[in-house]
């Protein structure tokens, strides 16, 4: 009997310098598929996926902006999805983090791959051109992934206090394992950086080329999206979808208008609870594996943190997770060659 798996689609920030050439290395056999994705890029006179991925060097100003990063991540992830060996694994549900929701729609068959590319390319470009503010990340755990309630209390009280200032707008953006991603306008971001004590020698950290995603500051982007896309864009998924609230969209039983409204409304302008999505994935579907599509492998740590947070299958610490991964891996990141080989 094949092992079951929930597939996880990555969000922004996963195509970085080490990922340059990802499509060439792993998907040289998918030139026709990648060319089909590139058509909407060509129509918009944007750099092609081949030119971006095949560049001589990684340039943050080129590769990490929303209009280019979103398309690269989509292409890498969907090509990875097509590479999963169906004879080796039974996919029982699909979810994603942040922008990964758009990828999950395409992987689950709620839209075609080409329409998924149009969604990602349009939303990524809108975020680049229209979005304001910043995203910051701050831990709620120590470096051994043990929850530290005082860090929650500190962050919440700091945000509450700063939001009393009339020029400040700070919102919870993503619940990411045992990390908090915060959205803020420029004034709020500066105030948070000044007010929060440093943790683990690196936090709070501003996420480069990110705006105040998943917050009310994205309302203008949401409005444009509703004007750009038609509700007929989305169909019922062929595989259960788990969204950023932990809600499940079932095959044949989902309201496609509600799916459309969530995708371009609440999903854009409200907190994305990735932790809840992973909890639902594990508790409702009890998969044998979680497969994280490439590029990159940065989503592996917050996913594992959520397993520790739930104490899933006895995984109650960073060390316990490492031991489990060595004996019988539960998380398989396709961005890591030694784990990729287990699913392709």
When pLDDT is averaged across residues 241-258 and rounded to a whole number, the result is 96
- Residue range(s) defining the domain that contains residue 182: 134-212
Q: Say yes or no: 78 and 155 in one domain.
A: no
331 in the same domain as 296: yes
Residue 1 has pLDDT above 90, yes or no: no
**Tens-digit pLDDT profile for residues 82-111:** 999 989 999 999 999 999 999 999 999 999
Q: What is the DSSP letter of 262?
A: I
End residue of a domain, out of 182, 212, 242: 212
Supply the pTM of this predicted model: 0.97
Same domain, 55 and 194: no
Domain termination residue (choose one: 178, 212, 246): 212
Q: In what order do the strands lie in the sheet with 331-333?
A: 248-249, 241-242, 90-96, 4-9, 289-292, 331-333
Quick one: 155 and 234 in the same domain? no
Mean pLDDT of 266-278: 98
Q: Over range 68-79, report the average pLDDT.
A: 97
Q: What is the pLDDT of residues 115-143, one digit of tens each?
A: 999 999 999 999 989 889 999 999 999 99
34, 64: one domain: yes
Same-domain pairing of 225 and 335: yes
CA-CA distance, 198 to 314, in Å (whole number)?
Answer: 31
Query: Quick one: 147 and 296 in the same domain?
Result: no
3-class SS string, 320-341: HHHHHHHHCCCEEECCCHHHHC
Q: Whole-number mean pLDDT of the chain?
A: 96
Task: Provide the CATH number for the domain around residue 307.
Answer: 3.40.366.10
Q: pLDDT of 156-192, one tens digit each?
A: 999 999 999 999 999 999 999 999 999 999 999 999 9
Confidence band of 338 (pLDDT split at 50, 70, 90): very high
pLDDT band of residue 219 (cuts 50, 70, 90) is very high
Confidence of residue 288 (pLDDT cuts 50, 70, 90): very high
Residues contacting 172, CB < 8 A, separation 6+: 159, 180, 181, 182, 183, 271
The reply to whether 192 and 242 lie within a common domain is no
Do 118 and 233 belong together in one domain?
A: yes
Per the structure, the count of domains in the chain is: 2
What pLDDT does 40 receive?
87
- End residue of a domain, out of 191, 212, 233: 212
| 8 A C-beta contact, residue 121 and residue 229 | no
Helix 318-327 vs helix 300-310: crossing angle, to nearest 10? 110
Cα Rg of the chain (Å, integer): 19
pLDDT-based confidence at residue 195 (cuts at 50, 70, 90): very high
Q: How many residues does the chain have?
A: 344
Six token digits for residue 303: 């996913």
Q: Are residues 8 and 125 in the same domain?
A: yes
Map residue 289 onto helix, strand or coil. strand
* Distance between CA atoms of residues 214 and 235, nearest Å: 23
The answer on 240 and 126 residing in a single domain is yes
Same domain, 113 and 195: no
pLDDT in tens, 300-330: 999 999 999 999 999 999 999 999 999 999 9
CATH code, 161: 3.30.70
Q: What pLDDT score was predicted for residue 224?
A: 97
What pLDDT does residue 130 have? 87
**Around 205, how many Cα atoms within 13 Å sit in the side-chain half-sphere?**
13
8 Å CB contact between 264 and 226: yes
């Amino acid at each position: 009997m094949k092992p079951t798996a929930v597939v996880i689609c990555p969000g922004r920030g996963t195509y970085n310098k080490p990922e340059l050439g990802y499509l060439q290395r792993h998907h040289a056999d998918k030139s026709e598929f990648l060319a089909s994705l590139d058509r909407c890029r060509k129509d918009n006179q944007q750099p092609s996926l081949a030119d971006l991925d095949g560049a001589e060097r990684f340039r943050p100003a080129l590769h990490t902006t929303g209009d280019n990063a979103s398309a690269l991540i989509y292409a890498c992830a969907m090509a990875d999805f097509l590479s999963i060996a169906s004879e080796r694994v039974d996919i029982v549900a699909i979810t994603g983090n942040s922008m990964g929701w758009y990828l999950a729609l395409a992987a689950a068959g709620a839209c075609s791959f080409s329409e998924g590319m149009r969604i990602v390319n349009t939303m990524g470009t809108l975020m680049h051109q229209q979005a304001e503010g910043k995203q910051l990340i701050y831990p709620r755990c120590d470096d051994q992934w043990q929850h530290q309630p005082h860090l929650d209390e500190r962050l919440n009280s700091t945000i509450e206090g700063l939001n009393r200032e009339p020029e400040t707008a700070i919102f919870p953006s993503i619940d990411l394992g045992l990390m908090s991603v915060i959205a803020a306008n420029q004034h709020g971001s500066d105030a948070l950086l000044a007010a929060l004590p440093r943790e683990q020698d690196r936090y709070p950290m501003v996420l480069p080329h990110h705006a105040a995603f998943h917050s009310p500051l994205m309302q203008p982007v949401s409005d444009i999206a509703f004007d750009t896309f038609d509700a007929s864009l989305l169909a019922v998924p062929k595989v259960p979808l788990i969204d950023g609230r932990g809600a499940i969209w079932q095959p044949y039983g989902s309201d496609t208008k509600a799916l459309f409204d969530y995708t371009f409304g609440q999903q854009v302008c409200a907190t994305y609870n990735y932790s809840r999505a992973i909890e639902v994935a594990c508790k409702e579907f009890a998969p044998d594996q979680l497969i994280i599509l490439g590029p990159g492998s940065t989503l592996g740590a917050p996913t594992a943190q959520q397993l520790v947070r739930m104490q899933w299958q006895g995984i109650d610490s960073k060390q316990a997770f490492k031991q489990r991964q060595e004996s019988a891996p539960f998380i398989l990141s396709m961005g890591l060659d030694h784990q990729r080989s287990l699913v392709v």
